[in-house]
Amino acid sequence: MSSSSKPNLPVTNAVNGPPNADLVRERGAASFPVRDLTYLVYGGQERTEHLERIANMVASDPVFRKTDRFFLSRTEQYRRSLEKVRHYKELIAKHNLHSELDQQDLRQAIDEDLPIGLHVGMFIPTIVGQGTDEQQKKWLPLARAYKIIGTYAQTELGHGSFIRGLETVATYDKSTQEFVLNSPTLTATKWWPGALGKTSTHCVVFARLVISDRECGVHPFMVQLRSLENHEPLKGITVGDIGPKFAYETMDNGFLRFDHVRIPRDHMLMRFAQVAADGTYSTPPHSKVSYATMVFMRAYIIGTASSTLAKAVTIAVRYSCVRKQFPLRSGEPEQQILNYQNQQAALFPLLATAYAFHFTGNYIRQMYSDFVRGMRAQDFSVLPEMHATSAGLKSLTTWIASAGIETCRASCGGHGYSKLSGLPSLYANYIPACTYEGDNTVMCFQLARYLLKLYGKAQAKPGLRLPGNVSYLEKSTLLDERCDASTEELWLDPARQLHAYRNRALRLVANCANRLVAEMQKGKDEVLAVEAIKSDMVKVAKAHSYYVVLNNFVNAIEQLRASGTSTPILRVLKTLCDLFALHFIQADLGDFLEYGYLSSLHTEPLHAQIRRLLEAIRPDAVALVDAFNFTDHALGSALGVHNGRVYETLFEWAQQEPLNKTQVAPGYHEYIKPFLLAKM
C-alpha cells in the first residue's frame, strides 16, 4: 500500500532534481498509510496541517536558514540566533500567532537553541508557578511581550546538583523592606544559566533566605540585571558569558555575581513561602515546592527525547537506503546498506524507541497536567510520584537518545563524521540534556529512593495498595515466577514482555533493599549504607523506567485499537513495540539471566524473534521515518534530505566551506611554498 496522500512539505536546502529512485521505491512499498501515522503522531489531520504550515513558513524563510551555521564563529552564531529571535517576533505579529501554542509551534519549527529558550521554558513558568497573583500581573505581561527577557539562575560555580548547598544569600533588611543579594565566595557565582551572559535583562535567582541570622532555605527572587535603556549591567552586578563549550554555541550561558544588590521585598516569589514586612517567615506547604519548574522542565525534556532521536534515525535510515556498498555476489548490483542485518540491528531498535518515547511523552504530559491541577487546589500529594517518575524517565530517555544519535552517526560511516550530516551537532547540542535539569545519575537516585521506600512500606504492610506504575512492588510472589516464553511466538505476547520487565525491576529493588539492610547489619548507618548501594540504585531506576516506557507503549496501542485505528497502523506499531521490548531485554540479558528468570531455553527464541522483527520492519523503514514528517530544514542534514539527493547535496554544501573561496590555500605562501620550492 502506498501513502494515502503526499506530505505537503517543500524540499528546501536539498539540491533539486529527480528524487533518488531507491527512496521512491521504498516509499511506494509501505505496508501502511504513512499520512495516517503522521496524524496519529501529531494529534490529528488539522493539527498536522497547522504544524506543516508553520514548518513550511520557517523552512522557506532565509533568516532561519541553517546551512551556513557550520561556517560561522561563535560570536556570529550568537548574533544570528538573535536575528532569528527578532524575526520570530516579527512573524508572531505578522501572522497573528498570539496563542502560546502557536508561538511554541513556531519556536519548535525554527529548531534552534535560541537565547529566549530559558525565558519561555523556565523564567515565565517560574513566575506562573511561584509568583503571587499580583507578581504575575506585574511581570507576566512584560515577559510575554519581551519587554523584559529572563532566565533561571540556580546553578553556581560550586554547586549544581546539591541545591541546598547554594551559597548566594538574600538577607532581609527589615528597616528598608528589601533583600540584599550577595555572592560571598567565588563558588557562589551563578554559572551556566542559559541566556544569562549577554541576553537577559532579568532573572529568577535561587538564593538562601536569611532573616535576622535565621536560615530559611533556598527561595526564588526576581532580579533585574541590566538596564532596559542601554543593556548595561546594573550597579553591584557582574555578568558575562562562561566561554567556549562542547557545543550550544547559539546560547550565552552565563556567570553572575552580586555585590550587596538590593531588591524590594515583593521581589521574592511568594506564592508558597512569604516574608512579611516585619520579617515574619511563613513556610511553604511542601518543602520542595520551589523545585516545581525543574519538574516541569524534566517533563518537557522527556517529551523532546522522541523527536530528537527520530531526527537522527530519519537521517540514518534514509541515507542507508541511498548508500550502497558491495554486491552480495560478483556481477550482482551493490546492496543498499540498510539491507545488512547489522545496520538494521543498529537502527531499527532506535526507530522503535523513538516511537516508544513518543507515547512516554504523552504519558508524562498528562501526569504533569494532573499534578498542576492538584497544586492549584493546594494538593501536593502527587508531587513525590511526579518528581520520582519524571526524574527517572528524564534520565533514561536522554541517555538512550544521546547514545542513539551517536549510533546513527557511526552507522553513516565516513559521511556521518561530516558536520554536513547534521548528526555531530545534533549529538553535541543534545547530550547536555543528560546533565542539565538534574544530572541523570543524581536523578536516578531520587527515583530509586522513592521505589525503595514504597517497597519497604509494601513489605511492612501486606495488602497495601500502591499507585499504577509501582503496584508491582506489592507483589513479592512475582519474584518466584519465571519466564515461560519458550517459543518465538510467545515472545510477542505483551503480557509476557511486561512480566519480564516487572520481574527485573522488582528483583533489582528487592536486591537493593536487602543489600541496604545487610550494609546496616554490618554496622553502617543508613546514610553510609545508601552510599554502598549507589550503582545498584542507578540500575533500579533504569529498570523501573524501562518498565514505565514499555507499559505506556503497550497501553497506547490498546487504546488505539479500542478507538478504531486501522489494522495496518496497529500492526506496524505492534511490531515496533515488540522490537522495543525484546531489544532492551537482549541488551540487558545479564539482568534477566542472573536470577534465573531466563535461561537459554528462552534466549534462543528471543534472538530469533528479534531477527524476524528486523526483517518485518525493513520494508516499512523509510515510511516509518517519513511519518515523523520532518522538513529538510528541521533535519539540517545532507544525508537525510527527503529527495535522497545525498551526494549532490553534500557536494554543493561543501562548496560553502570558506577554505574553498580561493584555489590556493591561505598560508600557502608562508608555510607550503618554502619547502616545496626549497633546493634538494
Ligand X SMILES: CC(C)(COP(=O)(O)OP(=O)(O)OC[C@H]1O[C@@H](n2cnc3c(N)ncnc32)[C@H](O)[C@@H]1OP(=O)(O)O)[C@@H](O)C(=O)NCCC(=O)NCCSC(=O)CCCCCCCCCCCCCCC(=O)O
Ligand Y SMILES: Cc1cc2nc3c(=O)[nH]c(=O)nc-3n(C[C@H](O)[C@H](O)[C@H](O)COP(=O)(O)OP(=O)(O)OC[C@H]3O[C@@H](n4cnc5c(N)ncnc54)[C@H](O)[C@@H]3O)c2cc1C
Among 37, 207, 209, 295, binds ligand X (CB under 6 A): 295
Longest dimension (CA), the chain: 92
**Which of ligand X, ligand Y, none does residue 574 bind to, with CB < 5 to 8 Å depending on kind?**
none
Window of 48-56, 430-438, 501-509, 638-646 that interacts with ligand X by CB under 6 A: 430-438
Q: In the complex with ligand Y, which residue's Cβ is closer, 115 or 404?
A: 115
Cβ of residue 218: shortest distance to ligand X, in angstroms?
A: 8
Q: Between vectors from CA 339 to CA 336 and to CA 342, what angle results, nearest 5°? A: 120
The answer to whether 155 contacts ligand X (rule: CB under 6 A) is: yes
**Which of ligand Y, ligand X, none does residue 383 bind to, with CB < 5 to 8 Å depending on kind?**
ligand X
The answer to whether 294 contacts ligand X (rule: CB under 6 A) is: yes
**Which of ligand Y, ligand X, none does residue 441 bind to, with CB < 5 to 8 Å depending on kind?**
ligand Y
In sign, the C-alpha dihedral spanning 305, 308, 314, 317 is negative
**Which of ligand X, ligand Y, none does residue 120 bind to, with CB < 5 to 8 Å depending on kind?**
ligand X
Cβ of residue 203: shortest distance to ligand X, in angstroms?
A: 11
- The Cα 116–Cα 85 span in angstroms is 7
- The Cα 96–Cα 31 span in angstroms is 40
Across-strand partners of 171? 180, 210
- The Cα 537–Cα 445 span in angstroms is 6
What are φ and ψ of residue 214, in 5° steps?
A: -95, 130
Cβ of residue 109: shortest distance to ligand X, in angstroms?
A: 10
Cβ of residue 253: shortest distance to ligand Y, in angstroms?
A: 6
Cβ of residue 443: shortest distance to ligand Y, in angstroms?
A: 9
Binding site for ligand Y (CB under 6 A): 118, 152-155, 159-161, 192-194, 248, 253, 432, 435-439, 441-442, 534
Contacts 24+ apart (CB under 8 A), 364-370: 364/299, 364/302, 364/303, 364/389, 364/390, 364/393, 365/299, 365/303, 367/299, 368/295, 368/296, 368/299
Window of 334-342, 382-390, 408-416, 495-503 that interacts with ligand X by CB under 6 A: 382-390
Cβ–Cβ under 8 Å, residues 312 and 408 = yes
Q: In the 8-state DSSP scheme, what is residue 577? A: H
**Which of ligand Y, ligand X, none does residue 39 bind to, with CB < 5 to 8 Å depending on kind?**
none
Residue 376, judged by CB atoms within 10 A of its CB (0-12, 13-18, 19+), counts as: exposed
The answer to whether 296 contacts ligand X (rule: CB under 6 A) is: no
The answer to whether 163 contacts ligand X (rule: CB under 6 A) is: yes
The answer to whether 55 contacts ligand X (rule: CB under 6 A) is: no
Look at residue 152 and give its three-state secondary structure. strand
The answer to whether 530 contacts ligand X (rule: CB under 6 A) is: no
Cβ–Cβ under 8 Å, residues 109 and 53 = no
Cβ of residue 52: shortest distance to ligand X, in angstroms?
A: 18
Annotate 591-610 with DSSP letters as a single string.
HHHHTTSS-HHHHHHHHHHH
- The Cα 270–Cα 284 span in angstroms is 9
The answer to whether 529 contacts ligand X (rule: CB under 6 A) is: no
Window of 286-294, 553-561, 580-588, 617-625 that interacts with ligand X by CB under 6 A: 286-294
Q: Of 70, 564, 584, which is closest to residue 349 (Cα–Cα)? A: 584
Residue 679 CB neighbour total at 10 angstroms: 3
- The Cα 194–Cα 470 span in angstroms is 35
The answer to whether 436 contacts ligand X (rule: CB under 6 A) is: yes
Residues 191-230 within binding reach of ligand X (CB under 6 A): 194
Cβ of residue 457: shortest distance to ligand Y, in angstroms?
A: 24
**Which of ligand X, ligand Y, none does residue 636 bind to, with CB < 5 to 8 Å depending on kind?**
none
Cβ of residue 433: shortest distance to ligand Y, in angstroms?
A: 8
The answer to whether 252 contacts ligand X (rule: CB under 6 A) is: no
The answer to whether 383 contacts ligand X (rule: CB under 6 A) is: yes
Judge whether 194 is annotated as a binding position: yes
Q: How many helices (H) and strands (E) does the chain have?
A: 24, 13
Q: In the complex with ligand Y, which residue's Cβ is closer, 299 or 556?
A: 299
Q: In the complex with ligand Y, which residue's Cβ is closer, 406 or 439?
A: 439
Q: Which three cell numbers stand for residue 629?
A: 514528517
Give the active site residues.
437
- The Cα 604–Cα 609 span in angstroms is 9
**Which of ligand Y, ligand X, none does residue 169 bind to, with CB < 5 to 8 Å depending on kind?**
none
Among 104, 176, 185, 559, binds ligand X (CB under 6 A): 104
Residue 158, judged by CB atoms within 10 A of its CB (0-12, 13-18, 19+), counts as: middle
Q: Torsion angle, CA of 556/558/563/564, rounded to 10 degrees? A: 120
Judge whether 67 is annotated as a binding position: no
In the annotated binding site for FAD, the residues are 155, 194
Binding site for ligand X (CB under 6 A): 104, 107, 117, 120-121, 152, 154-155, 160-164, 194, 288, 291, 294-295, 300, 383-384, 387, 436-438, 442, 446, 449
